Structure 1
Amino acid sequence: MLRLYHLLLGSILLVSIPVGAKFIFPQFSPTKAPKPPAIAKSSNPSEENIWQKILGNTYAPTNWQVVACKGSTLLLCVSSRGQLLGTVEINIYPLTNNQDFQKRLIAAGIPTGSQIDYQNSNYQSEVLTALKAWVADKYTTFAKDRQSRYGKEIIFSSYPVQLAPVGKLQGIRYGFAGLKQQGGIQEQYIGHVAFDGTKLYVITTAFDPATQTGKFEKLENLAIFQPYLYAIAADLHLP
């Protein structure tokens, strides 16, 4: 039964994503920066949107625009002809305040607090091990939450993690879907995580009616934008 739902998910993505879009990133045309669509205001309007500092080239389907959301510090707006289709959220966690990831680094064989160049090739394997452990914890947390929320009505299906560039960092791409027992998709999440030695970068978006930010209203729009998001993540200008 589970395989049937996987096939259904795959069919939706294949239909929704333009043929060849996943593999021919050089043919994508960087979009111009139009006026950002309106979105919920930040609690501190004086703060600058993080995306304005790190965004490189933006890639999008024809007549779609990708810009830092006006009035928000964490959201990237994806729109078409002035209509907001969805948002992508970024969160940055300093290592000094992130005991959870410190434990993952120690478990992977890298002591925290020492003067280590985490981007040194000698430590890349350990950093990736820590990132994979972080993702595994997220999967466990999501699975427990969905079990308590939906019971047996929704099947939690996590995606295998993949190595993926996040700017010049070697990061991890991950995600999961909530599949309805009666057919269809309740939710789908896509995430990137990377570590630069001092900060953990987490980039997420989703199709989930229960989520307030970092989401697309329609599953088909998320599916179409998915490969473009991969290209945007790879071109970020991280410190």
Structure 2
Amino acid sequence: MLRLYHLLLGSILLVSIPLGAKFVLPQFSPPKVVKPPVVVKLPNPNQENIWQKILGNAAAPTNWQVAACKGNAPLLCVSSKGELLGTVEINVYPLANNEDFQKKLIAAGIPPGSQMDYQSSKYQTQILPALKAWVIDYYAVFAKDRQGEYGKEITFSTYPPQPVPIGKLQGIRYGFARLKQKGGVQEQYIGHVAFDGTKLYVISTAFDIGTQTGKFEKLENLAIFQPYLYAIASDLHLP
């Protein structure tokens, strides 16, 4: 009788254990991780391309067109007969977020926040060393970056920083080229930088296959447009 009881008890356990495991074990299994939804930041449709405000004389070669690119990206489009030849990019950096340039201004005798006449000869004399120091640092960053990428196969050649008017501001024109040891240009950059007392303006374009924006696809088109870019920079509505 006892053996029959044990046999019946064992049969009941065999049936009940899988059922119990089905409802009890999930309570002890690790909880499922629910990932938060990915929030994609879309461009502000109400923000316009800054070139629409600052572009003055849109100088261009014959049969070429220069205009602010469509959309809100800070790009100036250069085209011919409906074909995009290249773009010029402008970046604006608020001084409040640029501690490095604040130090350069202090070293040049211009304390951040000081009210100065940006068209006065005194201010122009003081601002140039700060802008030149910015260009020198810019050259150093690119030289180090490209040295690691190309080694001795490419020669890094810089252009002497040149004081030029950028709108009503005193600015610096700069640039550099990467020259192949076997001949030819690997890349070329042309830039302008100016400061209006609260913001640093950096205008640039290039011949560089690795650059996404602010570039020309063909070196010869950049060479043709270069003097017109100088004229455009000098006639910008800045500040």
TM-score range, shorter chain: 0.7 to 0.9
Quick check: 1:162 aligned with 2:162?
A: yes
The equivalent residue for 1:200 is: 200
CA distance in 2, matches of 1:123, 1:238: 16
- CA-based RMSD of the aligned residues comes to 1.3
CA distance in 1, matches of 2:117, 2:228: 31
The equivalent residue for 1:132 is: 132
Q: Deviations over 1:78-124 (max 9, x none)?
A: 00000000000001111111111101111112222344444432222
Q: Deviations over 1:121-161 (max 9, x none)?
A: 22221100000000000000010001011111111100011
- Compute the TM-score of the two structures, normalised by the length of structure 2: 0.80
How does 1:35-74 map onto structure 2 within 5 Å? 43-74=43-74
Quick check: 1:120 aligned with 2:120?
A: yes
CA distance in 2, matches of 1:113, 1:165: 22
CA distance in 1, matches of 2:107, 2:198: 17
The equivalent residue for 2:11 is: none
Pair 1:101–1:119, CA change in 2 (3 A): farther
Contact 2:113 2:198 in 1 (8 A): no
Question: Secondary structure of 1:147's partner?
Answer: helix
Greater RCO, 1 or 2 (C-alpha within 8 Å, sep 6+)? 1
Contact 1:119 1:196 in 2 (8 A): no
- After TM superposition, the structure 1 stretch with the greater mean CA deviation from structure 2, 94-103 or 220-229, is 94-103
Runs of 4+ residues over 6 Å off in structure 1: none
Contact 1:66 1:77 in 2 (8 A): yes
The equivalent residue for 1:29 is: none
1:45 CA drift (Å): 3.0
- After TM superposition, the structure 1 stretch with the greater mean CA deviation from structure 2, 112-121 or 197-206, is 112-121
- After TM superposition, the structure 1 stretch with the greater mean CA deviation from structure 2, 60-69 or 110-119, is 110-119
CA distance in 2, matches of 1:230, 1:113: 30
CA distance in 1, matches of 2:112, 2:45: 35
Runs of at least 5 residues in structure 1 that lack an aligned partner in the other structure: 1-41
The equivalent residue for 1:147 is: 147
Question: Secondary structure of 1:152's partner?
Answer: helix
Q: Deviations over 1:158-201 (max 9, x none)?
A: 00111111001111000000001111000000000011111111
Question: Secondary structure of 1:200's partner?
Answer: strand
CA distance in 1, matches of 2:59, 2:162: 21
Percent sequence identity over matched residues?
78
Amino acid at match of 2:69: C
The equivalent residue for 1:218 is: 218
The equivalent residue for 2:38 is: none
- Number of residue-to-residue matches in the alignment: 198
Runs of at least 5 residues in structure 2 that lack an aligned partner in the other structure: 1-41
Larger radius of gyration: 2
Contact 1:119 1:197 in 2 (8 A): no
CA distance in 2, matches of 1:137, 1:43: 31
Q: Deviations over 1:24-60 (max 9, x none)?
A: xxxxxxxxxxxxxxxxxx8333310000000011110
Question: Secondary structure of 1:161's partner?
Answer: strand
CA distance in 1, matches of 2:164, 2:118: 17
Contact 1:47 1:73 in 2 (8 A): no
Quick check: 1:89 aligned with 2:89?
A: yes
CA distance in 2, matches of 1:60, 1:193: 21
The equivalent residue for 2:101 is: 101
Question: Secondary structure of 2:210's partner?
Answer: coil
